[in-house]
Chain A
């Protein structure tokens, strides 16, 4: 099995704040980590490799040169090799242009399966994985919470839904985005860390992956951000008085008026 795991280096959100003047994220001094959902994607790939040691797992990311650190962290966990898409041409990519670049790189690497985290904790869009599958013209299953079985050319998984889960079967190749219920990510190993320190990480530019200029970076990004702001949180408080019965009746009326519950 040839597996690609797409990972993203993100700021540790427990530490992120927004600059109230510019309305942009303050990234300085915030430690970078592998997007937590992507750790579950890496674990999913490594568990397949544990079962079938002939498998290879490649970590793929697009980002600034510093994103190499995230790839080395993935190697320390047991991933075989890694590729970093880094080029000024990629700057300003929205999810669509990012998915395009990752798809081009995935084609270059070759794969039977691609794993992504369900979303990145900085952008929270959950779009890149599914969009990548569209560019690659392969099926995708989002929110995978369990891999039931893998057979020749097909896979059966559980997809997390609001009201339970779906059991889905798909042909391979396939892209999956995973939720944290899927597994418990492992910790790095000493041998992995030693390998991570020495390994040569492939660095690819737009030309290296054969991406078209018009579809890359800002050129390939239909999204326009018109304004970024921190939402003002308005809290209204109302005190209800009376006997317990009266108060309960009032609360019921309020909830009906707010359409929180069905009248009747």
Chain B
């Protein structure tokens, strides 16, 4: 389908596809098997300017919008959502600076992020703060010209690899969520170490690790915006990136559909290709319809964000929920269409199914997204009364 992409958008999409096909597909099974993060791929993305996309032009980026990001994330996800998670998490970690950073902070960090010289991580989640992000226990205490951080962040994508980490910590525990603040912590700062690397069901080429702060002292200038803004910054940041999870869903589902169709055309049972069996065709038809519908919706939400809309929390949550639930269904169906072969590691479908599951969990579980959508509906109805 023609989605009215500009020439530049088509070029960016094509380039992302080239990276996916030439640099990611040949190694994805091995990275999955070995539970391995690949700097080679990150460097290839950097060399092609992919990390410039989301950085404003005045700080060395290309200043592209949400739709451009979705196109790239979708293409990378067709090859491996582990890799697209690495990429999207770098953007996630950068948005706090883009949205709330001072000019000095932006000048200091953004050009190196855009050039792909430094990877970024976003640290919000903790053992006692998952869905309930207000439960953050990591503290940041102001001592003279420094903040002293103590606590442990859990399950942080790009943890240990990222040179730049945006961290949510409590500056005033008595104020609850209003007592949270956002900070930049650079890798190598004394008192900042990395805990265990997680072994995961899927997206195993993406690294997920603990960030440990033990009397970690950072300059006062590393506070992003004001004290007390941490929770708002985290929510606005997640609003920005969430549509990308929908795009990941579209990418992995498209790839699973392609695998299923290819397989069905080749697999002979009952003396004909199983693609000639209507029961199989109907599964494929439903898969394809879901992928197309979701792609159109994800692009529409991205375009809505690119209009400069102020509040798109609800739409971004919808793209995330719908895209990830769809990806889970479609990847399960792909394995089903491929029968026993689909279950085997010789084919990529089982990896896609394992990988897809994360999309329903991270960046706020789908239950939490439904809460968000529900609350927005009620708020809107109350306003129009």
Contacts and interface: CB of A to CB of B under 8 A. Distances in A.
Contacts of A186: 44, 47
Contacts of A191: 49, 52, 62
A187 B44 CA distance: 8
A108 B87 CA distance: 44
A187 B48 contact: yes
Contact of A188 (B48, B52, B62): B48
5 contacts: A187-B22, A187-B44, A187-B47, A190-B12, A191-B49
A2 interface: no
A88 B48 CA distance: 37
B268 interface: no
A189 B48 contact: yes
B53 A190 contact: yes
Contact of A189 (B8, B22, B23, B47): B47
A194 interface: yes
A189 B11 CA distance: 10
B49 A187 contact: no
A203 interface: no
B294 to A, nearest CB: 26
Contacts, number: 34
4 closest cross-chain pairs (CB), A and B: A190-B49, A189-B49, A189-B48, A191-B49
Majority SS of interface residues in chain B? helix
A249 B274 CA distance: 51
Interface string A173-189: 00000000000001111
Interface of B: 8, 11-12, 15, 18-19, 22-23, 44, 47-50, 52-53, 62
Given A193-B11, A194-B8, A187 B18 contact: yes
Contacts of B15: 187-190, 193
Contacts of B62: 190-191
Nearest to B12: A190
A193 B11 CA distance: 8
A105 to B, nearest CB: 29
Contact of A187 (B8, B12, B19, B53): B19
B34 to A, nearest CB: 21
Interface string A192-210: 1110000000000000000
Contacts of A190: 11-12, 15, 48-50, 52-53, 62
Interface in A154-179: none
A192 B53 CA distance: 13
Interface in A197-232: none
A194 B64 CA distance: 13
Contacts of A187: 15, 18-19, 22-23, 44, 47-48
Contacts of A192: 49
A112 to B, nearest CB: 25
Nearest to B72: A190
A132 to B, nearest CB: 30
A208 B50 CA distance: 40
A186 B52 CA distance: 17
B55 to A, nearest CB: 12
Contacts of A189: 15, 47-49
A87 B184 CA distance: 59
A189 to B, nearest CB: 4
B208 to A, nearest CB: 27
B274 to A, nearest CB: 31
Given A188-B48, A189-B15, 12 more contacts: A187-B15, A187-B18, A187-B22, A187-B23, A187-B48, A188-B18, A190-B11, A190-B15, A190-B49, A191-B49, A193-B15, A194-B8
Nearest to B23: A187
A187 B47 CA distance: 8
Interface in A85-111: none
A186 B116 CA distance: 15
A181 to B, nearest CB: 18
A189 B48 CA distance: 4
A190 B47 CA distance: 9
B346 to A, nearest CB: 26
A191 B18 CA distance: 16
A174 B65 CA distance: 46
Contacts of B11: 190, 193-194
A73 B18 CA distance: 14
B342 to A, nearest CB: 31
Contacts of B49: 189-192
